Structure 1
Amino acid sequence: MNRLSLVRYTSAVALGLSTLWSAAVCAAEDAGAFDKIQQIRAGDLNIGYVDIGPRDGQPVILLHGWPYDIQSYAQVAPALAQKGYRVIVPYLRGYGTTRFLSASTPRNGQPSAMAADIVHLMDALNIRQADLAGFDWGARGGYRRRAVAAAGEIPGLGERVSDQQSADWRKPLPPQAELSWWYQFYFATPRGEAGYRQNTHDFAKFIWHQASPQWQFSDATFAKTARALDNPDHVAITISNYRWRLGLEKGEAKYAGYEQRLAALPPITVPTITLEGRITARRIRLPPATVPNLPVNMSTGICRERWAITRRRRIRRRLCRRWWTPIVCNPRLAGGATLRFRQHGLCL
């Protein structure tokens, strides 16, 4: 756990997108980049990953969510690489070519384990600092890694991790809100585990449609990701992840200290940006301490001049100019709410 507490990064960008990140379509010249999967031993895993761009470029680690995979960044990563970034896109535990090194290692989907995986991957690649971006599971792993960093890093826009097993998050919601999380309750049952194991691809495709009802993806697009869900540990990791979030699993003892620190919802003090689609923003459940750190209008982009946080104005403006400039809203995607952003001249 000491490795998880080390401060070794100077900047991070964590994108909390519960809708499909790959919906932000950009032109990419290196269409075959994601066919070149590399493998490296890191912590408990042999991680499969894509590594493109100059080796001396600023590292950017892109983390996918569930039930997606590295193909979510197949158009974004080459564009970043062409601008001089070293872009690393790993399969999370339970996906693609990532495998556990030992059959005796618990198939733990706890977000803290995924945060540890990020640290171990960076160790293995000898990367001391990197920008992090992710959605869904990837965002949670990035948030948790950043949240336990010690003081003294570059100050920035505040954000708080909000997926802990706290008493507040165990409180029931109104029926309509609970409906959004139906699959989590399904996975809490033996029937749900068996159902997901038996119908993994159909289940994932249904979630894609539910998360982005206006995204008309092709069978070929889905098939590229579906292969990653055939990982022998995918179902176990998925079930573990959602049962842990519901408090039905305790997680591994080696992450106990990590969880205690996260239970206090420590602020992420490095520059951090969160994006939410209009539909997601309406239904998302945020702890009270988080709300003052978010834009007044989440659906119109992160670089609005009106923020509840006023103490970081200079930093805020600098980050907006440096990192994100909203260029167009694509109403066809993610329920009419997906925003496309430009990073250093790149469409993400």
Structure 2
Amino acid sequence: MKSVRAGVLEVAYREAGPPDGPPAVLLHGFPYDIHAYDVAAERLAAAGVRCLIPYLRGYGPTRFLDAATPRSGEQAALGADLLAFLDALGIGRAVLAGYDWGGRAACVVAALWPERAKGLVSCGVGYNIQNIPVAGRPAAPEVEHRLWYQYYLHGERGRAGLEANRDAFCRLLWQLWSPSWGFDDGTFAQTAGSFDNPDFVDVVVHSYRHRFGLVPSDPAYLEIEARLAEQPAIAVPSIVLLGADDGVGPPPASDTAARHFTGPYRREIVAGVGHNFPQEAPDAFATAVRALL
């Protein structure tokens, strides 16, 4: 494990593959951690790819440098963290690949700083930039019921529940979101330690409140959030990977995200895969990353 001071964080990360290989940053989601990439990174490293796999803010050994920094989980913060990570390691361009929160960070950088992205692999939600100005509009009931965990965290009862039962809460989401993935106790335990980060609950709660406009942004990210509210297009070469069994975001029949991509673009739905795409289908994920290199 390595670490680097990047922006407001001391980011812990794993590196695999030759240091002079083409770089790919692999970004985990909620509620997961860098172990989602254990097999995929092994495949990519064997192919000569330099894999950089950071713990996001609020996870594992990553820490805030200043106790006064707001523990924001908003999309702009995740994008800014990724940009700072690239800067800290002196990486001009890389393939950015991720899912859930990590996919959001990758999409934010690919959209706003395309010169830093050689390509984008976005899993689970193709265009993973939140449209917060319209977040108050209700969705269809079959969509709304899958977001129960977000609404739960809008109240202080939910915050207390996550604080008291973080492992059970996160394990339930793994089961609901990846119904065809037969993970075992050891696999979950390997990741669950990352939820003991002292900032995990604050960052998670802020994320799920901010995306609905219920709490303010960290003032440091207001400009980025304003740019994201315009729903910027992504022009870099992009591959979208969707799990056919994703329990929180089943792939829509029509590709509604395609209009946001103005560069080379491909969408693939993989059978038997749920929400945690890189860990459930590491070969398909690694193949997509290599295609962009």
Return the alpha-carbon distance in structure 2 between the equivalents of residues 83 and 44 of structure 1: 33
Which segment drifts farther, 283-292 or 84-93?
283-292
Return the alpha-carbon distance in structure 1 between the equivalents of residues 95 and 16 of structure 2: 15
1:195/1:293 Cα in 2 relative to 1: closer, same or farther (>3 Å)? same
Q: TM-score, normalised by structure 1?
A: 0.72
Residue among 95, 109, 120 paired with 1:145 = 109
Question: Aligned ranges for residues 188-227 of structure 1 at < 5 Å?
Answer: 188-227=154-193
1:204/1:153 Cα in 2 relative to 1: closer, same or farther (>3 Å)? closer
Structure possessing the higher radius of gyration over alpha carbons: 1
Aligned residue number for residue 22 of structure 2: 58
Cα deviation, residue 123, structure 1: 1.3
Question: Aligned ranges for residues 249-268 of structure 1 at < 5 Å?
Answer: 249-268=215-234
Question: Aligned ranges for residues 31-70 of structure 1 at < 5 Å?
Answer: 37-70=1-34
Residue among 68, 73, 80 paired with 1:104 = 68
Return the alpha-carbon distance in structure 1 between the equivalents of residues 181 and 203 of structure 2: 27
1:275/1:218 Cα in 2 relative to 1: closer, same or farther (>3 Å)? same
Return the alpha-carbon distance in structure 1 between the equivalents of residues 120 and 105 of structure 2: 19
Aligned residue number for residue 237 of structure 1: 203
Aligned residue number for residue 298 of structure 1: none
Question: Aligned ranges for residues 94-133 of structure 1 at < 5 Å?
Answer: 94-133=58-97
1:246 aligns to 2:243 (yes or no)? no
1:58/1:346 Cα in 2 relative to 1: closer, same or farther (>3 Å)? closer
Return the alpha-carbon distance in structure 2 between the equivalents of residues 176 and 291 of structure 1: 23
What are the Cα deviations for residues 47-75 of structure 1, in whole angstroms up to 9, with x where unaligned?
A: 11001111111010000000000000011
- Give percent identity, aligned residues only: 36
The unaligned stretches of length 5 or more in structure 1 are 1-36, 295-308
Residue among 162, 166, 170 paired with 2:133 = 166
What are the Cα deviations for residues 198-241 of structure 1, in whole angstroms up to 9, with x where unaligned?
A: 00000010000000112111111000000011101001100011
The unaligned stretches of length 5 or more in structure 2 are none
Return the alpha-carbon distance in structure 2 between the equivalents of residues 65 and 203 of structure 1: 15
If each structure's strand is expressed as a fraction of its own residues, which one has the higher value?
Answer: 2
Aligned residue number for residue 290 of structure 1: 257
Cα deviation, residue 191, structure 1: 0.1
Return the alpha-carbon distance in structure 2 between the equivalents of residues 156 and 344 of structure 1: 9
**Paired residue type of 2:25:** I
Root mean square deviation of aligned Cα:
3.3
Q: TM-score, normalised by structure 2?
A: 0.85
Indicate if the aligned counterparts of 1:147 and 1:160 stay in contact, CA closer than 8 A: no
Return the alpha-carbon distance in structure 2 between the equivalents of residues 147 and 128 of structure 1: 16
**Paired residue type of 2:27:** L
Residue among 271, 287, 290 paired with 1:343 = 287
**Paired residue type of 2:239:** I
Aligned residue number for residue 275 of structure 1: 241
**Paired residue type of 2:33:** D
Question: Aligned ranges for residues 13-24 of structure 1 at < 5 Å?
Answer: none
**Paired residue type of 1:112:** A
